[in-house]
Amino acid sequence: MSIKLGDIAPNFTAMTTEGEINFYDYLGDGWGLLFSHPADFTPVCTTELGRTAQLKNEFDKRNVKVMAISVDSLEDHKNWIKDINETQNTTVNFPIIADENQRVANLYGMIHPNASDTATVRSVFVIGPDKKVKLTLTYPAATGRNFNEILRVIDSLQLTAYHSVATPADWKEGEDCVVVPSIPTEEIAAKFPKGYKVIKPYLRMTPQPDKV
């Protein structure tokens, strides 16, 4: 199954390192990050899960609940977490799904048979409070993901959802944003008190609205 932007994220109940969890109950009315890794006790995955744990405050600030998944056993996950904590100087603070029968991996299309029949690729799904999929990313097994980029996309998604702005190429926190095309230019002044610049009728910039 391939999941596309705007699709409803499939719900599931699965065994994790923090007990049996229903995905929707876990997400509540917040945002979600579901990401897969190819296998336990592998080097790149060890760094990725450690990095995610280190960023807990950043995910919390954005009201994002994190969940990882691979097709290994619960026992392996629990033993591997000890290695992650030791080598990455952190404490894993989110559940990891033990998806030995590949049920959740298949639900989310995380197994790409021409890459590997058995292991999940490095998939990322960001899910909004409406349970719709807002972002999908797929990385190959040998390339660790950039978790600062994942946070940056979440910031952009939340700016669009809550402040009606988009973010331009290479945008970084604090830089000017793009007023979404659905807002007529004559309504910008009332909606964006920090000011705006019309570069072209379709390209209107405004300071980042939620920045003090």
Give the dihedral sign, CA 128/30/171/163. positive
Residue 43 in contact with ligand BEZ, rule: CB under 6 A: yes
At residue 72, the 3 state secondary structure works out as coil
Shortest distance, CB of residue 98 to ligand BEZ, whole angstroms? 17
Shortest distance, CB of residue 112 to ligand BEZ, whole angstroms? 13
Residue 33 in contact with ligand BEZ, rule: CB under 6 A: no
Contact region with ligand BEZ (CB under 6 A), list: 42-50, 78-86, 94-102, 164-172: 42-50
Nearer to ligand BEZ, 41 or 162 (CB): 41
Residue 42 in contact with ligand BEZ, rule: CB under 6 A: yes
Pairing assessment for the beta strands 64-70 and 96-98 based on DSSP bridges: parallel
Shortest distance, CB of residue 142 to ligand BEZ, whole angstroms? 4
Residue 38 in contact with ligand BEZ, rule: CB under 6 A: yes
Residue 111 in contact with ligand BEZ, rule: CB under 6 A: no
Token look-up 């979404």 returns 180
* 201, 179 Cβ separation under 8 angstroms: no
Residue 45 in contact with ligand BEZ, rule: CB under 6 A: yes
Shortest distance, CB of residue 87 to ligand BEZ, whole angstroms? 13
Residues 119-178 that bind ligand BEZ (CB under 6 A): 141-142
Amino acid at residue number 94: F
Q: Phi first, then psi: give them for residue 95, nearest 5 degrees.
A: -75, 145
Q: Helix 43-54 to helix 147-163 angle, to the nearest 10 degrees? A: 40
Tokens of 146: 């950039």
Residue 105 in contact with ligand BEZ, rule: CB under 6 A: no
* Residue 72: closest CA among 88, 51, 93, 49: 49
Q: Specify whether 45 is catalytic.
A: yes
- Rounded to a whole number of angstroms, the distance between the first and last alpha carbons of the chain is 43
Residue 44 in contact with ligand BEZ, rule: CB under 6 A: yes
Partner residues linked to 174 by β-bridges: none
Active site residues: 45
| Residues near ligand BEZ, by CB under 6 A | 38, 42-45, 141-142
